Amino acid sequence: MRRQVDFFFGIGSRYSYLASTQIERLERETGCRVKWRALYAGALMRHLGMTAFEQAPPPSGQYDWDYRHYDAACWAAFYGVPFEEPKPGVSTYQRFALACVAARRLGHGAAFSKALFHAVFVENRARFDNAVLAEIADRAGLDGAALLGLIDDSETERQEERNIADALAAGAFGVPSFVCEGRLFWGNDRLVLLRDFLTRPDPDAYPRHAR
């Protein structure tokens, strides 16, 4: 049986984008199955009372926007993938999460999420109205009109809230977070640990995450 990894991600997260570019390779090389679970990271952090991104000045250098752009560009170079800083004013990330959940309900969650990441961090689009979301969906192999019909559906909202609840229950405090068999791996840079956990002969050497 293939081992399942829950991938909790947010479209507005640079590090979620970077991690997403490595998912196919991770599945191919480890035999795992990755379940793409979109959420709005702002809501996740508010549940925990975390406001690091809203503080001025930021509590540490890792939250400084200039550093995060530099760091993401370094990771993109390491992975050999394109990266563009999102244009200012793209503030529909909560709706993006709902769109990704809606796409998953239509059976194409991963394909649509990849296409939306590409539009934000590679194509560097500035506008994401319904017409653009439908276009991205069509390009990813979905029915754009069907996607739009599900974005504001109450069941889509409920499933996104379930993603947040499950991430919190697993101990996640940000995105991207990977959860597998009681182990939590937070951040794009922890993919090396996840890969090792999935491939080593003694996975029990990794402690379960206390939460």
Residue 36 pLDDT grade (very low, low, confident, very high; cuts 50, 70, 90)? very high
> Is it the case that residue 56 has pLDDT exceeding 90?
no
The 10s digit of each residue's pLDDT in 165-177 is 999 999 999 999 9
The whole-number pLDDT of residue 53 equals 55
Cβ atoms of 93 and 40 closer than 8 Å: yes
The whole-number pLDDT of residue 86 equals 86
Cβ atoms of 150 and 161 closer than 8 Å: no
Residue type, 95: R
Nearest to 189 by CA among 14, 2, 19: 19
The whole-number pLDDT of residue 188 equals 98
Question: What are the structural domains of the chain?
Answer: 4-205 (3.40.30.10)
Can you tell me which residue has the tokens 């069941």? 155
Residue 66 pLDDT grade (very low, low, confident, very high; cuts 50, 70, 90)? confident
Residue 89 pLDDT grade (very low, low, confident, very high; cuts 50, 70, 90)? low
The 10s digit of each residue's pLDDT in 146-159 is 999 999 999 999 99
Q: Write down the pTM of the prediction.
A: 0.93
Coil, helix or strand for 95? helix
Higher pLDDT, 90 or 92: 92
Element (H, E) at 107: none
